[in-house]
Structure 1
Amino acid sequence: MNRKELKIFLDEKVTQYNNPKFIESDPIQIPHLFSKKEDIEIAGFLAATISWGNRTMIIKNATKMMNMLDNAPHDFIMHHQEKDLENLTDFVHRTFNSTDFKQFITSLKHIYTNHKGLEHALNIKDNSTNYQTAIHNFKNLFFEVEHESRTLKHVSDPLKNSAAKRINMFLRWMVRNDKTGVDFGIWQSHNTANLSCPLDVHSGNVARKLKLLSRKQNDWKALSELDNNLRKLDPIDPVKYDFALFGLGVFEKF
């Protein structure tokens, strides 16, 4: 396919998958449980953080997270007492356990108390056209408080060549307003043009088959290559093609 044909094909797939039916089987349903901005972004951040492995289990455990936070995540984070954290002791999702969960509660309180919340803490504050440095700086802010070293691995660092799939997915949810009711678009201080595709096994394999990606590893260098090619197709909303790549890989076994 030439670029024009590829764009037509992928735009059709975006239309096919970027609609409310997508929510039914995706972790994005967790922040959709809420209407308050801070609840949406905290629920989204926590759900995205554990988004690896079986999607049914991700949704089950992210729902459990919300229940443990009294289904009011922002209020819990801002007003919890030390004894409230004891109720989180039984949580585990793969390598993310109760120690990590408690650390995230402490770090999120720090972000909202001292850094104006997730929207401000994750914003691009230089002249970058992507979130590589912003995510790195956010990780530093997140772990300014006393923390367990084991939890560091649960926040990616693109400056160490991580593709930061889960944070990029979370950013898509918060920044992109798709007008279909899937992505939220509540972070209006951010720019959709700067978003990167959440690169994983499915989207990476499809991108390679479509000649959008040549690099074999799913790392930040690969993501930069994919970004460059997707922005040629749509410089304003390049990450909409995540729906196409993911849908083709997961639902159509492309």
Structure 2
Amino acid sequence: MRNRLDLKNILESLYAARSQEHLANDPLSFCHRYQDPRDQEIVGLIASSFAYGNVKIIKKNLAWIFDRVGDSPRLFVERFEPEQGFRLFAGFKHRFNDARDLCALLFACRTMLEQEGSVEGWMLRFHGQGREDLTETLTGYSEAVKSLDLTPVFGAASPPGDSYFPFFFPSPASGSACKRLCMYLRWMVRPADGIDLGIWKGITPDQLVIPVDAHIQRICRLLGFTSRKQADWRMAREITAALRKLDPADPVKYDFSICHLGISEGCDGKDRLKCLACPIAGLCPVGSP
């Protein structure tokens, strides 16, 4: 591996090369359809919750949801009633999440707005400014959401055993990498740069933890940012710690760029023909001579 300065320069070039084509191929693009930060916050929570699986299917299902939500997602959530949702979202399915799970997510979001005025305000209940990262924040947030009374949706306070609503709110306490929650926080917290939105101010960018999906897991292992094999919370923190050495104030700055080497550019860690045009080929053992 090259020295830290070379690595930072190459990643900075990669960051500068982000494009609207990359954004269009990302669930974050749905947030950019709305101008009001209050709408963007709601859209981000929904979009990130379903951001697992094939990106084309993710985008198709999110488009289906937001076509029904209408012009003001914030207003829709404020007025949301589960019975209405069951009719509006009848037949919805995204892998193992169904219309009940979607309605429970919307009802939980409505509860957050009622209690604190925003999703950010609700999450800040569990956040401390002096913390190094979001370990305790996400642990408290996820456990609290899963403890909400969801009787209007499920007919009982807790989801039944066949509901995958809890899947939306993983916790570092269980070892999960919490990829979708970390991604949502990156969207909300990082400074507005044409990709991320920078609409939350109560959490600082230096506290973010990188969202570890299959692309980040593979590419960051190749770059030497982690030696771990399992995509868990320890891997997420290890990669973030390595990136913090490059940019202490904004350690997940390069997440979108690195991730889209896989999502948009087709890097699979195997096809050396793709390495010929890859900007990090000189850093990666697959693309090295």
TM > 0.5: yes
Residue aligned with 2:200, SS: coil
Show the 5 A alignment for 1:209-224. Answer: 209-224=222-237
State the Cα deviation string for residues 113-171 of structure 1 (Å, max 9, x = none): 01332112223622322112111211233232224142112211111111100111111
The aligned counterpart of 1:242 is: 255
Matched, 1:145 2:149: yes
C-alpha distance in structure 2 between counterparts of 1:172 and 1:229, whole Å: 17
> Is the Cα contact below 8 Å between 1:96 and 1:154 reproduced in 2?
no
Task: Report how many aligned residue pairs link the two structures.
Answer: 252
| TM-score where L is the length of structure 1 | 0.93
Query: 1:203 is matched with which residue: 211, 216, 223?
Result: 216
Deviation of 1:178 (Å): 4.0
Q: Quick one: which of 142, 150, 170 aligns to 2:184? A: 170
Quick check: 1:229 aligned with 2:242? yes
Could you tell which deviates more after superposition, 34-43 or 145-154?
145-154
* Higher mean C-alpha deviation, range 166-175 or range 122-131: 122-131
Report how far residue 79 of structure 1 moved: 1.2
1:27-52 CA-to-partner distances (Å, cap 9, x unmatched) read 11111111122211111111111111
Instruction: Quote the sequence identity (%).
Output: 28
Give the structure 2 partner of residue 133 of structure 1.
136
Match of 1:105 in 2: 106
Instruction: Out of 223-232 and 59-68, give the one that drifted further.
Output: 59-68
Q: Which amino acid aligns with 1:199?
A: V
| Cα separation, 1, equivalents of 2:20 and 2:89 | 31
Q: Is the 8 A contact 1:122 1:138 kept in 2?
A: yes
TM-score by length of 2: 0.82
Is the alpha carbon distance of 1:178 and 1:12 closer, same or farther for their aligned partners in structure 2, counting shifts above 3 Å?
farther
Q: Relative to structure 1, is the Cα distance of residues 63 and 117 closer, same or farther in structure 2, using a 3 angstrom cutoff?
A: same
User: Which structure 1 residue ranges, 4+ long, deviate > 4 Å from structure 2?
Assistant: none
Is residue 2:11 matched to residue 1:7? no
- Bigger Rg, structure 1 or 2: 2
Instruction: Return the offset for 1:101.
Output: 0.5
Task: Report the counterpart of residue 279 of structure 2 in structure 1.
Answer: none
Matches within 5 A, 1:16-55: 16-17=17-18, 19-55=19-55
Q: Which ranges of structure 1 fall in alignment gaps of 5 or more residues? A: none
Structure holding more helix per residue? 1
1:185 counterpart = 2:198: yes
Tell me, in whole angstroms, the C-alpha distance in 2 between the residues paired with 1:142 and 1:24: 30
Comparing 142-151 and 154-163, the one that deviates more: 142-151
**How far off is 1:80 after superposition?**
2.7
Q: Return the alpha-carbon distance in structure 1 between the equivalents of residues 55 and 20 of structure 2.
A: 17
- Residue 181 of structure 2 aligns with an amino acid whose one-letter code is I
Secondary structure, counterpart of 1:238 in structure 2? coil
